[in-house]
Each structure stands twice: as C-alpha cells, then as structure tokens.
Structure 1
Amino acid sequence: MASLKTELGSVKLPALNRERLIEFGRKRAKQGAGAATLSIDLSFIRTIITHAAAVHGIEVSAEEAGLARVALSHLNFGWKEQGA
C-alpha cells in the first residue's frame, strides 16, 4: 500500500482516470510487482473510488479502474480477466 500512497496519494479523485491508472500499473510492473499485486492495487483503488462516490457524493467513476485493469491485462501484465 505504500506504493499507492507514494504514487497516487496526492492525486485528486477525478484525476484518477484510466490513463493515469495504466501508467501506475506499468510503473509497478517495472518495479517488480506481479499480477496479484497489480490486481490488488486496482481493486483497492476501485473500492476507494466507489466509496467516495457512494458515501461522499464525489462525482467520479469506478469504471476507470476497471478499464485500466482490462487494458493492463491486454498489455500482457500477467493476468487474465475472468472469461477472457
């Protein structure tokens, strides 16, 4: 979780778009993070975004994290989406 805080801690929620999350995933992979770690990171991000939207009314889409996950899987970062 330290990497999440270091890399994305100062990013405002609306700026957590697909491109930024893909770049985060690429950087984490270059640092040696495996498929499970990347999947956990993106799941955690999606949970935070969903919470922000549902509880605090912040207008942000959790779909960005889902799209980043799909993109990273297609870019061969080590995991397959369910049903793929």
Structure 2
Amino acid sequence: MAMNVEKVSSTDAKNRLNALLADVERTGKTVIITNHGRDVARLVPATPTPRTFGQLPNLSVPADFDEPLPDSELARWEGEESS
C-alpha cells in the first residue's frame, strides 16, 4: 500500500466529499473509502503528481528513473570499457 493513504468511512466520505476531492487533488494522496470496516473504493488523483526529492520540491524525477541501466552504462559503472 502507498505511504500517502487515508481511510475514511463511507458516511464520512459522503459528508466531506468536496474537501476529500480538494485534498486528493492538492496532495496526490489516495483515500480509501470503507464500508463497515472493509475497504470498498479508492479515491485517487486523476493525474499523478510528479515525484520530488525531499528538500528539492522543484526537481522532477523522470518516469524511467527506476528502470535498469542500459548494458553500456552498467559496464562503465562496473569498471569495464565499453566499445
């Protein structure tokens, strides 16, 4: 489960829907709506919020940041000469 998640009951979600929508849009967090203690729905941002680094909120992280390095780049990191 994502770290930035809030759980609310269906009654609470009904009473605070506009505030929950604004919060999801502003913060990018997910809200899980429960019914009698069971998770039944997720309220998520329509557009994902860009990833940022702690003290550098204006630094964007590319979507492929976590992808494996190409073989040629990996070889350089491992001290091998690439041709």
Q: Give the TM-score range, shorter chain.
A: under 0.3
Q: Which of the pair has the greater relative contact order for Cα pairs under 8 Å at 6+ separation?
A: 1
| TM-score under structure 1 length normalisation | 0.27
Larger radius of gyration: 2
Higher strand share: 2
* TM-score normalised by length of structure 2: 0.27
